[in-house]
Amino acid sequence: MTAKKFNKKEFIREVKANVKALYRKNLEEATQQQIFQAVSYAVKDEIIENWLATQEQYEKDDPKYVYYMSMEFLMGRALGNNMINLTIYDEVKEALEEIGLDINVIEDQEPDAALGNGGLGRLAACFLDSLATLGYPAYGCGIRYRYGMFKQKIEDGYQVEVPDNWLKDGNPFELRRPEYAKEVKFGGYVRVEYDEKTGRNYYKQEGYQSVRAVPYDFPIVGYNNNIVNTLRIWDAEAISEFQLDSFDKGDYRKAVEQENLARNIVEVLYPNDNHYAGKELRLKQQYFFISASVQEAIAKYKKNHDDIRKFYEKATFQLNDTHPTVAVAELMRILLDEEGLTWDEAWEVTSKTCAYTNHTIMAEALEKWPIELFSRLLPRVYQIIEEINRRFVAQIEAKYPGDFEKVRKMAIIFDGQVKMAHLAIAAGYSVNGVAQLHTEILKHQELKDFYEMMPEKFNNKTNGITQRRFLLHGNPLLASWITEHIGDEWITDLPQLSKLKVYVDDPKAQQEFMNIKYQNKVRLAKYIQEHNGIEVDPRSIFDVQVKRLHEYKRQLLNILHVMYLYNQIKDHPEMDFYPRTFIFGAKAAAGYRRAKLTIKLINSVADVINNDASIKNKLKVVFIEDYRVSNAEWIFAAADVSEQISTASKEASGTGNMKFMLNGAPTLGTMDGANVEIVEEVGKENAFIFGLTADEVINYEQNGGYHPENIFNSDQDIRRVLMQLINGEYAPDDPERFREIYDSLLNTKSSDRADTYFILADFRSYADAQKRVEEAYRDEAGWAKMAMLNTACSGKFTSDRTIQQYVDEIWHLQKETVKVK
């Protein structure tokens, strides 16, 4: 099982040789970035043998593969993680020290691979780590965006988006694989030809434009098991002129168009999280990587198998939300038009291959493509979806005769739109939600009609996170302490953390645990000082909310409460108040005006509070610029309190909540998403729960009866805070600046209900919960115990458990083992 021995001398020699070969420099002359490249190539060398051995073993065993299809893979940095999973981190660290290099500085040279927005993309990355670690054959399939998630700068308190040119210095871990290139066709028309010999119609797409999809492979290193899987992401290149059909030769206009298509298609990640915008280019991206990936999966199968009707025995496609759902129709197209299967044969294969994960119930996130756009861009694929719809509607009518409502609500094509979720559910063999509560809401609210018609497809897979990145790499002090106490098996068997429970009342252990937390807070304080120029006291409570900015996540509730606390401290300077640092990190979608205004509000409140000497540093507010995977690792390690305060029913699962828990930060949250299961594991006495329940929220939404103005009228503290949004308290130069936020809470000018996300409804109970946090923190031993219990009870939330459940209940894969020669 163990990896081959690491040879320090050889490694150093290789780093030096790499610097020379790559940059014609000696170590002393090279920049830190160049050294990062040289070290990465040396680490890649360690990986290559295992990568080859893994692929060879798979070839021999002919296993079933999961193709995890996702528009997003939020990988973060690779170097540190690869060294961790190769179990050579400490050795490399020492080797580098010997030649005068600091591993942290080297790691810090690497740009994040930010090919994702947030939860859904990071989940995909954790899943790849667990698949490799558990030894399951898997491919991640995605897009090699030239520009990933934008970098966030804060200027004058406002978010400014800066392009993320992550490939500019070269990407040491990727491997270009032109030998696997595929052609992907867009537009044109479909010609039908009747073949007398077979008595069948054949469909040919003509007059199309096409691009060449070229894959780049990233190694996904399993932990200490020699297994290396592959993340295959596709780049687009122009089909060069001389490759055009003879018919098109010399068609200069077409050549230029195809070149533009190729250039645009993979240019940039759409920075929307939970918001569907219906852009044509986005559909092009979806079909581009799906067509290439499906073609490749079929080509791979056909190398060793001749009966395409059994494809599903060797491959399963997991669709990460609806974004890759066109895979259903693309697979049908290839099976029908290229492999010559009948409809029923093709449908059997497709419906045994595809499975769908739902990640959100937010209505504005649902993908519904206009027929005009869809059929123009993908004429043949659209025809196939029409036929899938025709048959599905017939099934609905057979099951519910005369009930047109059912057809209206469930059809795949309706009202001029193609509904991707309906396609995924109708075609797939599995539909899963990402936390217990979320799956129940899908079954009984959002997807009720589908659940009633095909209950056997529905199942839950509560999300998880990888402890290799978010504890072993991100929090080395705690990781070592845990290993000293219970051994290191937790690295691949997280429930072992429960063995820590015997230490939670031990004063020495408590002190050590809290001392590690303190050192991590010092590390974060330094980062904040360097990057934000704000001084924070590591002895204060670090109260942290980091996640995408979205109204339903209620960063607004958090900052309104900070404004309330500030009022209290100003009114009662003598009041006992435990010093608190409120830390925010959040990117807003570039076009999401209200979210961006919320960032400005947080920064404006921070400015006033941080510069008010009269409150004697009792309160600090920090907005960490450019929250991303790499700085997240440090933030989780340093948090005392985990803010998970979404409106109940809105956060499908959350995964940040799990990362905080793992690192010993109790949850301050609503009974939403996986918070429910966190409380189940750790006990409600070790969390701070508040607010409306999901049932109460849904009841208000369906039956009305919520009147935020009543709360405004009857609660002076809340009223005062809201008035401060429009009296210039935090915007002396423009008192109207935050009027929009005020209006959103109280006015029903628009047709929506005021305070869509029940901020006023939950304000009091949130403030009470915050009060309980403060009281609990004052009890040092009590807090240490609570923090330790959070770590000790976080075993369920490893993505290893999640992946094992996908394997057992959906994918049915066999474990592989790889020996190195």
Give the nearer residue to ligand 26W in terms of CB position, either 362 or 472: 362
Out of 37, 325, 360, 430, which residue is the one contacting ligand 26W (CB under 6 A)?
A: 360
Q: Is 365 in the site for ligand 26W (CB under 6 A)?
A: yes
Question: Per-residue x/- marks for ligand 26W, 443-472, CB under 6 A?
Answer: --------------------x---------
Whether residue 24 lies in the annotated active site: no
Catalytic member of 554, 620, 659, 785:
659
- Residues paired with 153 in a beta bridge: 160
Alpha carbons 74 and 304: distance in angstroms, whole number: 33
DSSP-assigned letters across all residues of 516-546: HHHHHHHHHHHHHHHHH-----TTSEEEEEE
Compute CA distances 744 → 413, 651, 653, 731, whole Å.
34, 20, 26, 18
User: Cβ-count burial of 703 within 10 angstroms (0-12 exposed, 13-18 middle, 19+ buried)?
Assistant: exposed
**Least separation in angstroms between CB 95 and ligand 26W:** 37
Active site includes 659? yes
In sequence order, what E strands does 378-525 have?
413-414, 417-419, 430-433, 458-460
- Residue 353 a catalytic site member: no
**Closest separation in Å from C-beta 317 to ligand 26W:** 17
Q: Is 81 in the site for ligand 26W (CB under 6 A)?
A: no
Q: Select the span of 24-32, 181-189, 273-281, 386-394 touching ligand 26W (CB under 6 A).
A: 273-281
Helix (H) or strand (E) holding 316: strand 315-320
Among 464, 654, 666, 795, binds ligand 26W (CB under 6 A): 654
Is residue 119 a contact point for ligand 26W (CB under 6 A)?
A: yes
Catalytic hit among 146, 359, 406, 461 = 359
Instruction: Note whether 590 binds ligand 26W by CB under 6 A.
Output: no
Handedness of CA 786, 789, 793, 798 (dihedral sign): positive
Name the segment binding ligand 26W (CB under 6 A); options: 231-239, 266-274, 507-515, 803-811.
Answer: 266-274
Clarify whether 616 is annotated catalytic. no
551 belongs to the binding site for ligand 26W (CB under 6 A): no
Contacting ligand 26W within 488-507 (CB under 6 A): none
Q: For residues 550 and 598, what is the distance between their CA atoms, to the nearest angstrom?
A: 9
As a whole number of angstroms, the distance between CA 787 and CA 186 comes to: 54
Catalytic residue among 368, 547, 618, 628: 547
Residue 359 is a binding residue for ligand 26W (CB under 6 A): yes
Q: Which of 112, 367, 551, 729 binds ligand 26W (CB under 6 A)?
A: 367
- Among 123, 504, 599, 725, which residue interacts with ligand 26W (rule: CB under 6 A)? 123
Q: Scanning residues 275 to 304, which ones bind ligand 26W (CB under 6 A)?
A: 275-276
Q: What is the DSSP letter of 240?
A: P
Q: Which helix (H) or strand (E) holds 580?
A: strand 580-585
274 forms part of the interface with ligand 26W (CB under 6 A): yes
Residues 613-652 close enough to bind ligand 26W by CB under 6 A: 651-652
φ/ψ of residue 689, rounded to 5: -105, 140
Q: Does 125 bind ligand 26W (CB under 6 A)?
A: no
Q: How far apart are CA 301 and CA 718, in angstroms?
A: 63
CB 187 to ligand 26W: min, Å: 22
Closest residue (Cβ) to ligand 26W?
119
How do beta strands 228-238 and 209-221 pair?
antiparallel
Could you say which of 174, 321, 551, 643 contacts ligand 26W (CB under 6 A)? Answer: 321
Residue indicated by tokens 């079954």:
443
Residues contacting residue 623 through CB under 8 Å, at least 6 positions apart? 154, 532, 584, 585, 599, 602, 603, 606
Number of residues that bind ligand 26W (CB under 6 A): 23
Q: For 417, what's the count of Cα atoms within 13 Å in the CB-facing half-sphere? A: 13
Measured CA to CA, the distance from residue 55 to residue 391 in angstroms comes to: 40
3-state helix/strand/coil string of 626-659: CCCHHHHHHHHHHCCEEEECCCCCCCCCCCHHHH
Report how far residue 611's alpha carbon sits from residue 622's, in angstroms, rounded to the nearest whole number: 12
Greatest alpha-carbon span in the chain: 94
Structure tokens at 256: 């230029």
Provide the Cα torsion 283, 286, 288, 289; round to 10°.
170
Which single residue is written with the structure tokens 């045994």? 352
Q: For ligand 26W, which is the closer residue by CB, 209 or 799? A: 799
CA distance 25 to 30: 6
How many other β-carbons are positioned within 10 Å of the β-carbon of residue 505?
12
How far apart CA 763 and CA 558 sit, in angstroms, is 9
Task: Examine residue 434 and tell whether it contacts ligand 26W (CB under 6 A).
Answer: yes
Show Cβ contacts of residue 343 under 8 Å, excluding neighbours closer than 6 positions.
Answer: 336, 387
Nearer to ligand 26W, 435 or 565 (CB): 435
Least separation in angstroms between CB 622 and ligand 26W: 24
273 contacts ligand 26W (rule: CB under 6 A): yes
Q: Would you call 553 a catalytic residue per the annotation?
A: yes
Q: How far is the CB of 677 from ligand 26W (least distance, A)?
A: 12
Catalytic residue of the set 93, 422, 553, 737? 553
Active-site residue flag, 444: no
- Comparison of 521 and 547: residue with beta carbon closer to ligand 26W: 547
Task: Provide the minimum distance between the beta carbon of 354 and ligand 26W in the complex, in angstroms, as a whole number.
Answer: 17
The nearer residue to ligand 26W, 727 or 804, going by C-beta atoms, is: 804
**CB within 8 A of 449, min separation 6: which ones?**
406, 409, 410
Among the candidate windows 163-171, 359-367, 685-693, 742-750, which touches ligand 26W by CB under 6 A?
359-367
Nearer to ligand 26W, 78 or 434 (CB): 434
Contact (CB, 8 A) for 55 and 137: no
Q: How far is the CB of 441 from ligand 26W (least distance, A)?
A: 12
Please identify, using beta-carbon distances, which residue of 463 and 467 lies nearer to ligand 26W: 463
Q: How far is the CB of 646 from ligand 26W (least distance, A)?
A: 8
CB nearer to ligand 26W: give 152 or 171.
Answer: 152
Phi (first) and psi of residue 354, to 5 degrees: -95, 140
CA 582, CA 543: separation in Å to the nearest integer?
Answer: 5
Stretch of 89-97, 360-368, 702-710, 796-804 contacting ligand 26W, by CB under 6 A: 360-368
Indicate which single residue of 120, 355, 769, 813 sits in contact with ligand 26W (rule: CB under 6 A).
Answer: 120
Q: How far is the CB of 672 from ligand 26W (least distance, A)?
A: 9
User: Which residue is listed with tokens 């929090």?
Assistant: 475
Residues 6+ apart with CB under 8 A from 488: none
> Contacts with ligand 26W in 665-684 (CB under 6 A)?
673
**Closer CB to ligand 26W, 698 or 776, in the complex:** 698
Nearer Cβ to ligand 26W, position 119 or 708? 119
Q: Which of 475, 655, 667, 802 binds ligand 26W (CB under 6 A)?
A: 655
Distant-in-sequence, close-in-space partners of 175: CB < 8 Å, separation ≥ 6: 216, 217, 218, 219
Q: Active site residue: 461, 548, 596, 737, which one?
A: 548
409 sits near ligand 26W (criterion: CB under 6 A)? no
Residues binding ligand 26W (CB under 6 A): 117-120, 123, 272-276, 321, 359-360, 365, 367, 434, 463, 651-655, 673
Q: Catalytic residue positions? A: 359, 547-548, 553, 655, 659
